[in-house]
Amino acid sequence: MKKAGKGLFLVLEGLDGCGKSVQAALLAERLGNLGRKVRALREPGSTPPGEKVRELLLDPATGSLDPATEALLFMACRRELVSREILPALERGEDVVLERFHPSTICYQGAGLGLGTERVEELARWTTPGLEPDLVILLDLPVKEALARLGPQRDRLEGRGGAYLEKVRRAFLDWAGSRPGVAVVDASLSREDVARALWEEVKRVLHQG
């Protein structure tokens, strides 16, 4: 699974409600203003079969799933999205702005559901061999603020409660650590300030390429 071409592969990560969708739209607009072609995608989904699996994953009526089943469903969606959309776009020289990627599965299922982060990382390598984002931006937000932004409506995964989300937030921060190609941005700032901090990180990668 080779990444060719000159498109940038940019991933936004973080808890539900941290502002990924808001920032993805702003980032896509900003890249577009530079005359770049941008493909904005989100996980799970963004392909016809992926949207069906998304429905299954998010519908509270699905009830509980075996944690490994859940991780594999996310991986299946991801594989389909990478082969149908992400690799072709990058090869055409387009930038890809993606909401959620492997780090979400590593943290929500690996750490949060106790599968183990190593096991999920292994699965990630098998699912998308050799494909690495140019930049992962973790939008970090305290769980309380993330839940407040979401309001009372909860999907199947958002309904798992504060203790679970605390574990996931910690896992995201541990995963990010001092890993190259990962930036942590304080998502509690205003939309504009988050966008500004995020753009500083993206500019660094733009100038490398």
Q: Could you tell me which stretch among 10-18, 68-76, 78-86, 199-207 binds ligand ATP (CB under 6 A)?
A: 10-18
Q: Which of 102, 103, 134 is nearest to 36 (CA)?
A: 134
Residue among 149, 156, 160, 170 that touches ligand ATP (CB under 6 A): 149
Decide if 96 contacts 89 (C-beta within 8 A): yes
- Give SS3 for 209: coil
End-to-end Cα, the chain, rounded Å: 20
Residue among 7, 11, 13, 17 that touches ligand ATP (CB under 6 A): 17
In the complex, the smallest distance separating the C-beta of residue 75 from ligand ATP, rounded to whole angstroms, is: 18
Tell whether residue 33 is a contact of ligand ATP (CB under 6 A): no
Q: Could you tell me which stretch among 19-27, 60-68, 125-133, 137-145 binds Mg ion (CB under 5 A)?
A: 19-27
Decide if 57 contacts 156 (C-beta within 8 A): yes
Tell whether residue 153 is a contact of ligand ATP (CB under 6 A): no
User: 42 pairs with which residues across the strands?
Assistant: 99
Q: Residue 95 CB: number of other CB atoms within 10 A?
A: 25
- Interface characters, 154-193, with ligand ATP (x: CB under 6 A): ------------------------------------xx--
Residue among 19, 103, 110, 133 that touches ligand ATP (CB under 6 A): 19
Tell whether residue 22 is a contact of ligand ATP (CB under 6 A): yes
Q: Could you tell me which stretch among 18-26, 63-71, 123-131, 169-177 binds Mg ion (CB under 5 A)?
A: 18-26
Residue among 1, 21, 173, 179 that touches Mg ion (CB under 5 A): 21
User: 40 pairs with which residues across the strands?
Assistant: 97
Task: Return the structure tokens found at 24.
Answer: 């993805």
Taking each helix axis from N to C end, the angle separating 117-127 and 67-81, rounded to the nearest 10 degrees, works out to 30
CB-based burial, 118-138: b 16+ in 10 Å, e otherwise: eebbebbeebbeebebbbbbb
Find which of ligand ATP, Mg ion, none residue 18 binds, CB within 5 to 8 Å per kind. ligand ATP
Find which of ligand ATP, Mg ion, none residue 94 binds, CB within 5 to 8 Å per kind. none
Binding site for Mg ion (CB under 5 A): 20-21
